Structure 1
Amino acid sequence: MEMQKALLALEDGRCFNCASFTGGGEAGGEVVFNTGMTGYQEVLTDPSYQGQMVCMTYPLVGSYGTNPEDLESDRIQVAAFLIREYQEHPNNFRSTAALRDYLISGNVLGICGFDTRALVRHIREKGAMRGMISTKDLNPASLTKRVVSEVPSMAGLDLAGGVSTDRPYRLVNDEKEFVGASDLNPSVWRTTDGRPRVTAFDFGIKYNIARSLEAAGCEVVIVPARFGAEKAMSLKPSGVFLSNGPGDPEPLDYAIDTARALAGKVPMFGICLGHQILGLALGAKTYKLKFGHRGLNQPVKNLLNGRIEITSQNHGFAVDQKSLPADVELTHVNLNDDTCEGFRHKSLPLFAAQYHPEAAPGPHDAQYLFDDFVNMMKNR
């Protein structure tokens, strides 16, 4: 396998000599790390990673190839993929393409051959920062200057709008079945058997969230991020879901206003970015974490029953639990840093989780949250 010399430069001047296993090119974005040993294909296609260069802490990546069944969206979302050692020959009966070929098909740079754990330690100590990879500009001083001038900060950017659908759709066998223009009406629903009907706002929704809602007994129609509260209510849904997505929630005024307008009118459930949007809508504040939570092994304590859940997470921002209003109850905390991982309103039918109960990849400890949402809609 042919490799090309490459350079990774961070905005603070730290540089790593490495090699591209996907050919020549350049990429920039916020450098983040994921602590999972597996699940790299789900990571690559998770819209919450839009605009980020993802480093896997586990050193050997690529051993099981890629396949169409493990996608979480219809394309690769990461800006670049950073690993210690690429496994060139996958050995898995489900594999249909090698990781290298999959990245090349999406025009995404993959680099290897450097100390990824040194990179992760640096990010943990100094905080998340912008970076740039190049196979053309191998001068550390030059590439570092370009990071500062060419790569935007994630803070203040509306990244969700770039990954949201522009038309409402259903997910059928992981294919989008568009259901018409934005002026939908209640006739969009197919079921007449009393199943809960969920309008899901797409801020970067993962396929397995839609699958999990359907597995819990819901019919799901996914709508654009800017669909609005009035249009959502015109569908007469049983409940509204606010999805995961990339980046900073504060610039998403349209989403925050929608969540605020819907609160109390219909049961609501938010995950990840949806958790932050709902928090802002209720009057809480959000902030950027030093280096984020990304992996499939994050311990969370459920304060309602005292149980510990091992969870899948992917977020760089969080809700400030000290800013939660008096009528909002903290329900889950992260045992690593005591950050807010979930809340519920004391009187209105709404709740949210910062982590990913649908997993993909990861454990299924929190799948019960989808059942809680269904029960909330049925008891409304």
Structure 2
Amino acid sequence: MVQTDEMTTIKQDALEAVEKAQDAQALQAVKVQYLGKKGLVTGLMKHMKDLPKEEKPAYGQKVNEVRQAIEAAIETRQVTLNEAALNEQLAQESIDVTLPGRAVANGAAHPLTRTIEEIEDLFLGLGYEIVTGYEVEQDYYNFEALNLPKSHPARDMQDSFYITEDILMRTHTSPVQARTLEQRNGKGPVKIICPGKVYRRDSDDATHSHQFTQIEGLVVDENIKMSDLKGTLELLAKSLFGADREIRLRPSYFPFTEPSVEVDVSCFKCKGKGCNVCKQTGWIEILGAGMVHPNVLEMAGFDSKKYSGFAFGMGPDRIAMLKYGIEDIRHFYTNDVRFLNQFKGVEDRGETTC
């Protein structure tokens, strides 16, 4: 009888404590107090040893009933507390739909990407194909197929990142031209530009980088002349730097072209009068070009007496620096948002932003 009265008291106290619990932490404390390993309900089982054998089953059943009643009350209270907490959270985190929206920042094309795409668009309009190739290239296509045998002194001009004796990081995109000519089986016409990244052992300063971009062009067909090259480059200069630009061709040397030229454009800042951009000369060097060397054509399977062609190569990094007044080539590759944000909405050709 004593044990039964104790059960009733514990049950009533536990149910009252459950109802008074105002949060999950308080409810957990009630659970531990009554149902834990050292809890009051668990302690009721200690009286079992003092009971006659025939009374033990009925006593154990009553203890379980008390336990189940308390557990049910705790579960119900937990649901109530969870709902209250959720409602409070919703009230605190409610959204005022009358507030003005937050503006989403718009991105802009990277100045280097913009320059490359501008050049690609021009040549696509002239009927050229865009061809890409391998950045990890064979020595043969990077040098030998371009009239640069292993003993050629011009190789000293291009310190290279070699992976093995015969594999290297390409030093220019010219291997794409060599591979394309080889694939045409000696039949023209060929009219391509080859954009991509190239790698050279170069000083890492404001105007040089060990990695940079290059776009090379190649045209091979019957009766291609130097005048065709000049007309193409003149159109390129006017498209990039303004309709009033002029170009000049200076004799130069490249192993894969003969004759070879350096190409200058009249300064778009001072209009040829002389300034800091053109170093007071009125002209800015922008690319190299020339007529495709007969040896290059022959190695690719073309009859150099039937076919001729011209090739040119430019650095979009340098052109972008000139167009947008960028003084340090390393800005292109540091992903500094402060630098990139300057080019939002810059569409005018030749506009200086830095």
State the TM-score bracket (shorter-chain normalisation): under 0.3
Structure ranking higher in helix proportion: 2
Structure with greater strand share of residues? 1
Query: Please, what TM-score do these two structures have when normalized by structure 2?
Result: 0.24
TM-score (norm 1): 0.22
